[in-house]
């Protein structure tokens, strides 16, 4: 079935489409203190909640990029309903193809889709190249809470090298000359909400769309993901949003 249809179904109950929370998102917005007219880009913006809340808090010029036509449509509907005068442009496209002028943004973020750039380090490299000296780089990334079991790796298809630790995620930014300002680390409640809302959304979709020919695959995939999360993932994988600043003294190479 269509990948983006699957995520649309399973994330219908989500406001934040990653293992964080609305409370942590509000905290993040409070930490982002932009001048009016500051240029912002959010790669893999999902339903646009981060940019909409930034627009509610200040007056930036924002671009939100996501490959999902479902998420972009919902992001645009939310923008019209909540901040119709905001300077936000949502674009349906692959984040890897979004290439602003180097060092032209005040803030660049990719919160939960660092695979676009080949992983956390690649995302930091790309985002750092987008922001001006003194600009913010915000990245959301998983990390190992403990050494993953071979059964978990086999079940997920991930490699041990796919993720690092919380410390190594920070160090990846520091190696690129970025200054760590803050981390918003998800707790187990955040993870349970993120995963559980997918189960709930799937159950609701099953009840209301019994005729959908894709339904058996949706149910099968969600059931498998639930088993993997409860058996291994809940104790194995962590998540954090990392807030870095590009130093003012950094050269624009």
Check residue 13 and give its pLDDT.
97
What is the strand order of the sheet 39-43 is part of?
87-92, 61-66, 39-43, 105-111, 131-144, 237-245, 179-185
Per the domain annotation, does 103 fall within a domain? yes
Q: Which residue bears the tokens 């807030």? A: 243
Check residue 249 and give its pLDDT.
72
Per the domain annotation, does 4 fall within a domain? no
Q: What is the pLDDT of residues 91-100, one digit of tens each?
A: 999 999 999 9
Check residue 56 and give its pLDDT.
95
DSSP 210: T
> What CATH number is associated with residue 123?
3.40.50.150
Domain containing 126: what range? 15-149+156-187+237-245
Which pTM does this prediction carry? 0.95
The Cα 253–Cα 245 span in angstroms is 17
Query: Crossing angle, helix 3-10 and helix 69-82, to 10 degrees?
Result: 50
Check residue 179 and give its pLDDT.
98
Token pair of 184 as six digits = 């918003």
Domain count, the chain: 1
Check residue 164 and give its pLDDT.
95
Per the domain annotation, does 5 fall within a domain? no
3-state helix/strand/coil string of 149-195: CHHHHHHHCCCHHHCCCHHHHHHHHHCCCCEEEEEEECCHHHHHHHH
Check residue 253 and give its pLDDT.
41
Which residue stretches of the chain have pLDDT < 70? Answer: 250-253
Per the domain annotation, does 230 fall within a domain? no
Per the domain annotation, does 122 fall within a domain? yes
Check residue 199 and give its pLDDT.
98
Helical H runs in the chain?
3-10, 22-31, 49-57, 69-82, 120-130, 150-156, 166-174, 188-208, 215-228, 234-236
Per the domain annotation, does 192 fall within a domain? no
- Residue 22's nearest CA partner among 140, 193, 196 is 193
Per the domain annotation, does 144 fall within a domain? yes
Per the domain annotation, does 43 fall within a domain? yes
């Amino acid at each position: 079935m269509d990948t983006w249809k699957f995520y649309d179904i399973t994330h219908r109950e989500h406001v934040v489409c990653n293992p964080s929370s609305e409370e942590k998102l509000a905290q993040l917005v409070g930490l982002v203190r932009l001048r009016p007219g500051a240029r912002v880009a959010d790669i893999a913006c999902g339903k646009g909640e981060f940019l909409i809340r930034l627009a509610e808090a200040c007056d930036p010029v924002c671009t939100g990029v996501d490959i999902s036509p479902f998420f972009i449509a919902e992001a645009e509907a939310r923008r019209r309903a909540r901040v119709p005068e905001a300077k936000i442009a949502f674009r349906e496209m692959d984040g890897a193809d979004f290439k602003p002028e180097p060092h032209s943004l005040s803030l660049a973020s990719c919160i939960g889709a660092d695979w676009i750039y080949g992983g956390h380090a690649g995302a930091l490299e790309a985002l750092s190249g987008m922001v001006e000296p003194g600009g913010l780089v915000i990245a959301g990334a998983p990390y190992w809470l403990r050494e993953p079991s071979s059964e978990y790796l086999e079940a997920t298809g991930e490699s041990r090298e796919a993720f690092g630790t919380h410390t190594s995620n920070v160090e990846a930014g520091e190696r690129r000359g970025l200054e760590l300002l803050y981390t918003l680390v998800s707790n187990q409640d955040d993870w349970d909400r993120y995963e559980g809302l997918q189960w709930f959304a799937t159950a609701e979709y099953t009840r209301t769309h019994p005729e959908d020919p894709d339904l058996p695959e949706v149910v099968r995939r969600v059931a498998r993901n639930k088993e993997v999360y409860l058996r291994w993932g809940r104790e194995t994988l962590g998540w954090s949003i990392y807030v870095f600043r590009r130093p003012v003294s950094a050269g624009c190479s």
